Amino acid sequence: MSTVIPTQIEKCKGAMLATAIGDALGWPNEPRSKNRSKKSKIVDHFVEWTRSSNYPRWHDEKILPGEYSDDTQMTLSVARSIIAGDWEKFLAEKELPFWLNYERGGGSALLKAAKSCKEGFLLWQSNNTRGYFNAGGNGATMRILPHVIAAAKTFNITGLMTDVVKDTLITHGHPRAFLGATCYAYALDYLLRKETVLEYGELVTVVIDGQNDWGANLNTDVFGEWLNIAQQHCGYDFFTEWEKTRDRMVRQLELISVSLKKGLILDDIKVLSDLECFGKANGAGDVAALAAIYLASKYANNPSLGIKVPAFSFGADTDTIASMAGGLLGMLSGTNWIPAEWKAVQDYDCLIQITELLLADNKKEATKEEVAEAKAQDNHWRTTPIGKVRFVESKSVPNGKYGIVIIEKWQNMLGQTMYTKDFKPNDMPQQINQPSMGSKKPHKTTLYDSEDWPKLSNEQQVANQQQSKMPEQEPTQAMLTPQKAKRQFVLESDEVTDLLGNPHFRNSITVGKVLKIIQALIDSNKESEDLAKEYRVEIEMVDIIKRFVKVKCR
């Protein structure tokens, strides 16, 4: 019996769906997910779970079965940027800044880059580039699938690799991020164009043979300015580090090739450990790409298991590796293999629709048709920098005895679900049923005008006027730059209660170490990542403490 090879359209749909499925299945088990439950079980279905969130104030957030994290959010952001045209500008100036309103689980490098974009500049163009050029995480690797889909009807591997690098450098500057992204894109592209049955171990061999394509040095004609800045500010020889990273990846691919020959006796945990999935580099872009290639190679005939294994590899970056393995397995097998219970993944129809738009000959015209249909069905749309959205519902969760966090559910015209949050103290009027997306306009930048934000109802305007009578927040560093300023550590009584309920502060950490971190934050401009390494604590803990370091005028 011959095996039916899916069409390219089915492959692309399968890749997009399986990316979100792996993300949703693995997110509750990811070490940094802040899952309240510490007794996760291996299951075949999506689960509801509770996440301990510290934004905008500490609260417990219910994550519904099948809901995805930043991996899929950013994949959709890249897809919309490509559909909009001039994708680099749209991604940096609109998608990334707006993502801060609804992000779920974003890593430190990605969040820092998005905040920089919101302020109107890219990190590599700033005066503080050290953290950027050390950012080798998988935050770029996980989002590049739309570039592969958009290039399906052409065959220009150099052009594809160039787009992937351009995408990566918006947020990450280390070779591990670039090469992880290009290697993963190369593997996806190969499976997209594969018209015969994939032989066991074939994908690994092909990626090794393609190292001169995905591992090629950056073109100085295209990236000359960026490379000059990198050489001056990265703190290492960029070209040497690039070659070292590529050579290490090839050796790891050869290790995978040898391991696959063991067949049924092959131990997944042993191989994933050898690939650094459980070590300090478990969140690196190259590690995620290599792990995904291994899993797709071994489980090509059993895609469901190929996603499930990484999603429940506790201690690894479960959501991203499962998402990327899903991308490869979906690109190989299409959609027919997807279990019925996995079709409950968040925004299933949106993922299909986005894929079809990426494959359309005229993406903008195709999108206009979809938007016109959505408008005809509902007239309660509000304008945002990334398109129109409509309010769906809201709910509130307590923040101790001091107030509530209002979580609002929104949906854009292509069907993507987004959740925004706002804190309301107990002494302020509560308007839980009044949508607020856009009610807090961003600081004026060159990215987009305030007119792009939703217009407020009369009730909202009254609420904002009442809120404006509240004491203003402490001025930011940017506001104080022209004046003499000093940093202070300010902790109020209700914030003490928040900290005592924070699981990070229940772990063994001495008061002396906390005080040293506070002193370092007051006296230096060190990044959270650097301080976390120096004092051997989690980055999240440094970020929590940093919230209470205020800048005041002398």
Residue 524 marked as a ligand binder? no
Cα–Cα distances in Å, from 82 out to 87, 170, 358?
5, 15, 7
* Strand-strand pairing, 485-489 and 417-425: unpaired
Q: How many Cα atoms sit within 13 Å of 146 on the Cβ side?
A: 30
Residue 209 marked as a ligand binder? no
Q: What is the CA radius of gyration of the chain?
A: 23
CA 472/CA 426 separation, integer angstroms: 17
Residue 450 marked as a ligand binder? no
Cα–Cα distances in Å, from 146 out to 77, 89, 333?
9, 16, 17
Which tokens in the block code for residue 34? Answer: 């802040």
Quote helix, strand, coil % in the chain, to nearest 5. 55, 10, 35
Which tokens in the block code for residue 138? Answer: 């998988």
Of 4, 24, 138, 122, nearest to 72 by C-alpha is 24
SS3 category, 263: helix
Q: CA torsion 305→311→312→313, rounded to 10°? A: 100
CA 460/CA 182 separation, integer angstroms: 46
Identify any residues that bridge with 449 across adjacent strands, giving them in sequence order.
none
Which tokens in the block code for residue 549? Answer: 């370091």
Helices (H) and strands (E) in the chain, counts: 25, 8
Cβ-count burial 149-180 (b if 16+ within 10 Å, e if not): bbbbeeeebeebbbbbbbbbbbbbbbbbbbbb
Which tokens in the block code for residue 249? Answer: 């990846």
Residue 69 marked as a ligand binder? yes
CA 426/CA 429 separation, integer angstroms: 8
SS3 category, 446: coil
CA 409/CA 147 separation, integer angstroms: 28
Contact 302, 337 (CB under 8 A): no
**Contacts (Cβ under 8 Å, ≥6 apart) of 402:** 57, 425, 426, 494, 497
Check whether the bond before 56 is cis (ω within 30° of 0): yes
Q: Please, is 377 exposed, middle or buried when counting C-beta atoms within 10 Å of its C-beta (0-12, 13-18, 19+)?
A: exposed
Q: CA torsion 288→289→291→293, rounded to 10°? A: 160
Residue with tokens 């090794």: 208
- Total residues belonging to the chain: 554
Binding residues: 69-71, 317, 319-320
Binding residues for Mg(2+): 69-71, 317, 319-320
